[in-house]
Structure 1
């Protein structure tokens, strides 16, 4: 049974007790009221349509609360919890994605959702379950193998060495590791390792555990790896980038990577459940991963799942870190705070800015900061945007940090338990980001009726008028807040044959970041601002008008908000007499007070 989001009573109790390991003394949660995430009133605070600039106050400390206490709408979060319970339930058939998972959402320093469900350990081997009395439930403090989220820890250590002057972004890797220059790698830079533009193939071939007998030979294999593309010409996500960076960091500091992570990140931030090769004392809280026959490791639990990281002794630049949702929450808030948490600074503000900057503008769709991926709707969902940072992990993990709303979402699962041959974890990754985005208020301009549609892929919603009944020119005006995938479109259409056929109207759009020209549809996540939209009809005696929002089957953003809908001819309000009929996911929101 899934542990639900915090109730008001639980939040009050939590505000009086220890919040996270290492986070004692958190401030209590205020009990300000809210009327829902899509209303235009409630507690003070910025909505999703009024993005923050700059870092959160350096003193921001995580504290538990309810969605209401943070000024959010609980409904999208509750719906996400219910969907997670389905994804964790084998009886769901094709919707079953993983044995267990832990989730956490936070906004403006308030943890508004922290849940767990399913089982951290359930299987004896690849096909057989353990006896039911040996199943281990997933908990909010379950420790998971982060897989490639480990790359973020390596990247943070690299930024610390950049600050210390031990490495430089533009300097070739071979300057620090002369042996690296072999096989045409002399020009590859530190920056190219961090942005996956070095030219390396995705993985070492042969794998480190298959092709080499010991750690020295495996490190030499990393140094000897041959690129498949010239450096700087291609984006290709590669574990070899972070394995190479690991060797650089160890060379310039004289310390192993696990020591650098402990001394530079987990120690200062008091992340007591985070690190490589967790001790046996923590095994009862560790989620199992895969049953491996080759190599013959059996059911992997408490050791890194990734075979190449295992071959590196469990400490690798690309994988190996274990952690909890609570510890990752502190790390995420540290990033939002500009590199500091509870007075313990692990990064300079400029370093965090560099991690948020897109270095891959030459590779559209593959935006990347230093270590962090940027603007990837395929797993960030409704939180995606040009400044949104994140990463995923093969074991079924993801972290999404949205500076514009000062929010983050964490999903940790054991989707490879007992086998990696499972459905994609991307739907819940997107869902947690979208749920949090939809919970954050959008405050429509004006005081008239407002409408909202947040809908699933492959669906269409319409708002349709009756016959407008005008013999003169008609003006159509409205405000729109559009947060969608680029191919999910909002259009305004007219019909003169009773709705059999429809034609899109050219739109004139004004406002921050508004599209130029006369587009016939609106979409995108690059701008979080209300636009004023105007369209014209020559005459409309029997014309119908509709607002149409359609999504393709792939990804969705937060959705579309409409406000101040006006259809006039001269001084005549045509919408008052023609009416407006919703279909699909459109729903009218409470009027502003």
Structure 2
């Protein structure tokens, strides 16, 4: 999907920040999504799940899951040495929890340090964000767009003539931001070129693997190039642009490249590296290419805390402003969170931001859910529909990058926040929701009168692709499908009307696919009528429905 320049100009007319929260959604609700940014004055403040309108148990469950991942598993080691989790909703920080160790191991084999030599995680532990750094580069680029120095539909070679070689003359800034440039994912810059100048030239010289615009391929080279581009057009180093344009205005005092030695005691260790021979890496960027570029690169190099990263997230949910300071215009944020890669299903991407990625966004996933992950074990998820932020920072490469994927923990954190948000019954005190695959919700036996029946019910559907609820009609022995409930991301109750030949029973059957799961399905306000009138009103008849593997829920 290409967004014309006219849209970029016209979006400013939306006045996204002028609409009160009460006009577009509800706090603590998953089933009443917002369609505007949060007010620009929304700031992070400490609170409890209850204060934010959330159920505390799912939040506690998410924190417990993270804690368990710091304990040894079946393979003898934990998923990560330590972590800091931060969850916020409508500006209320409902969880900010450290677990485990910032420094735990002495070598690549996982030899544990004596406990008095370890460093425990703390709420303000500083982490190497790895590829989450790409968001800072993207914001720096879009600030130059706002200043009129860069246009996303222009060729990169207009700004970096040396880039326009070997089939790259037509690659646009947009294609770098959306990973549709055709560039290969990575080059061993640190290993195969002798110095920074040669390494940058290697990126400028590289030829595309695929024709630009024909495929999605996540590439560090895209963001390395953008880092060079923004330095060229602004006449300043990337770290200065990020500091002056993002971190200082937002008060992100612990965020930046190449952290000073005075903060070393607060920094989480990453990997023990033998090649290059760096030993236990701590306080320097883990990514070898970023390290070889001096610690400041478009694809990696930023260090930050959970709190600082949440401030950035809230600023974006606010439409680009926080604490009375604006770093982006609302139209720019809107554009960055627009899907430009609709031609490549499963790889939704805005300008710098990943979108709609259930593998780490869990049950917060929707087409507009945005975020990014980092190889060191970091992730940021922004859910504009509920105005929520989920941050999980881990040192999962400490002491080795081969100890496993942190994705289960990422999903657990996002799932906990999503499930803490309420789905209120449509009518009465409760609705029905499946809890096990194959579970059924069945009406009592109904009289069969006339030639037609109408089944009417309310459904809230937020299911992983592959999951579904099939509505069936039958006599209790033989069943026929009359409706299928699928989908996710809409987050609204829908009225479902099924006209069918008469049946003595209806039932809802939940089937589980192979995905990660969503917020779930809720069924409520079930009514059956025929030509002679009302046959069943399940809201008024307590025994009107029988549940096996479904449960009554009130949120």
Q: Give TM-score scaled by structure 1 length.
A: 0.85
Alpha-carbon displacement from aligned partner over 1:525-560 (angstroms, at most 9, x marks no partner): 23121111122453334x4x3212222232111111
Residue 142 and residue 460 in structure 1: after superposition, are their counterparts in 2 closer, same or farther (change >3 A)? farther
Q: Alignment partner for residue 294 of structure 2, among 313, 332, 354?
A: 313
Q: Is the 8 A contact 1:448 1:564 kept in 2?
A: no
Q: Alignment partner for residue 572 of structure 1, among 535, 539, 546?
A: 535
**Is the counterpart of residue 102 in structure 1 residue 105 in structure 2?**
no
Cα displacement (A) at 1:63: 0.7
Q: Report the counterpart of residue 521 of structure 2 in structure 1.
A: 560
Alpha-carbon distance between aligned partners in 2 of 1:285 and 1:275, rounded to the nearest angstrom: 14
Alpha-carbon displacement from aligned partner over 1:344-373 (angstroms, at most 9, x marks no partner): 111111111111111112222211111111
Q: Alignment partner for residue 50 of structure 1, among 32, 42, 45?
A: 32
Q: Report the counterpart of residue 425 of structure 1 in structure 2.
A: 406
Cα displacement (A) at 1:51: 1.1
Other structure's SS at 1:481 match:
strand
Q: Is the 8 A contact 1:87 1:95 kept in 2?
A: no
Alpha-carbon displacement from aligned partner over 1:361-414 (angstroms, at most 9, x marks no partner): 222221111111111111111111111111111111111101111111011111
**Is the counterpart of residue 462 in structure 1 residue 436 in structure 2?**
no
Cα displacement (A) at 1:571: 2.6
**Is the counterpart of residue 490 in structure 1 residue 469 in structure 2?**
yes
Other structure's SS at 2:100 match:
strand
Alpha-carbon distance between aligned partners in 1 of 2:240 and 2:192, rounded to the nearest angstrom: 27
Residue 134 and residue 161 in structure 1: after superposition, are their counterparts in 2 closer, same or farther (change >3 A)? same
Q: Alignment partner for residue 265 of structure 1, among 210, 233, 246?
A: 246
Residue 231 and residue 69 in structure 1: after superposition, are their counterparts in 2 closer, same or farther (change >3 A)? same
Alpha-carbon distance between aligned partners in 2 of 1:409 and 1:460, rounded to the nearest angstrom: 31
Alpha-carbon distance between aligned partners in 2 of 1:85 and 1:557, rounded to the nearest angstrom: 22
Residue 339 and residue 200 in structure 1: after superposition, are their counterparts in 2 closer, same or farther (change >3 A)? same
**Is the counterpart of residue 588 in structure 1 residue 552 in structure 2?**
yes
Other structure's SS at 2:182 match:
coil
Alpha-carbon displacement from aligned partner over 1:24-79 (angstroms, at most 9, x marks no partner): xxxxxxxxxxxxxxxxxxx9746221111121111111111111011111121111
Residue 454 and residue 240 in structure 1: after superposition, are their counterparts in 2 closer, same or farther (change >3 A)? farther
Alpha-carbon distance between aligned partners in 2 of 1:475 and 1:65, rounded to the nearest angstrom: 47
Q: Is the 8 A contact 1:449 1:564 kept in 2?
A: no
How do 1:469-484 residues align onto structure 2 when only pairs under 5 Å count?
470=448, 472=450, 473-484=452-463
How do 1:75-474 residues align onto structure 2 when only pairs under 5 Å count?
75-91=57-73, 96-127=78-109, 128-204=111-187, 207-447=188-428, 449-453=430-434, 459-468=437-446, 470=448, 472=450, 473-474=452-453
Alpha-carbon distance between aligned partners in 1 of 2:74 and 2:266, rounded to the nearest angstrom: 26
Cα displacement (A) at 1:253: 1.5
**Is the counterpart of residue 526 in structure 1 residue 504 in structure 2?**
no
Deviates more, 1:292-301 or 1:523-532: 523-532
Cα displacement (A) at 1:432: 1.5
Q: Report the counterpart of residue 44 of structure 2 in structure 1.
A: 62
Deviates more, 1:56-65 or 1:566-575: 566-575
Alpha-carbon distance between aligned partners in 1 of 2:413 and 2:166, rounded to the nearest angstrom: 43
Cα displacement (A) at 1:92: 6.2
Cα displacement (A) at 1:588: 0.8
Q: Give TM-score scaled by structure 2 length.
A: 0.90
Cα RMSD for the two superposed structures? 2.1
Q: Is the 8 A contact 2:27 2:90 kept in 1?
A: no
Residue 583 and residue 140 in structure 1: after superposition, are their counterparts in 2 closer, same or farther (change >3 A)? farther
Residue 377 and residue 91 in structure 1: after superposition, are their counterparts in 2 closer, same or farther (change >3 A)? closer
Alpha-carbon displacement from aligned partner over 1:272-331 (angstroms, at most 9, x marks no partner): 111111111111111111111111111111111111111111111000111000000110
Alpha-carbon distance between aligned partners in 2 of 1:374 and 1:577, rounded to the nearest angstrom: 43
Alpha-carbon distance between aligned partners in 1 of 2:455 and 2:154, rounded to the nearest angstrom: 57
Number of residue equivalences: 525
Alpha-carbon displacement from aligned partner over 1:170-225 (angstroms, at most 9, x marks no partner): 11111111111121111111111111111101112xx0111011111111111111
**Is the counterpart of residue 503 in structure 1 residue 480 in structure 2?**
yes
Alpha-carbon distance between aligned partners in 2 of 1:454 and 1:317, rounded to the nearest angstrom: 44
Residue 90 and residue 577 in structure 1: after superposition, are their counterparts in 2 closer, same or farther (change >3 A)? closer
Cα displacement (A) at 1:250: 1.1
**Is the counterpart of residue 546 in structure 1 residue 507 in structure 2?**
yes
Residue 340 and residue 196 in structure 1: after superposition, are their counterparts in 2 closer, same or farther (change >3 A)? same
Alpha-carbon distance between aligned partners in 2 of 1:460 and 1:539, rounded to the nearest angstrom: 24
Cα displacement (A) at 1:231: 0.9
Alpha-carbon distance between aligned partners in 2 of 1:396 and 1:339, rounded to the nearest angstrom: 26
Q: Report the counterpart of residue 18 of structure 1 in structure 2.
A: none
Alpha-carbon distance between aligned partners in 1 of 2:519 and 2:178, rounded to the nearest angstrom: 28
Alpha-carbon distance between aligned partners in 1 of 2:62 and 2:547, rounded to the nearest angstrom: 24
**Is the counterpart of residue 73 in structure 1 residue 60 in structure 2?**
no
Q: Is the 8 A contact 1:203 1:239 kept in 2?
A: yes
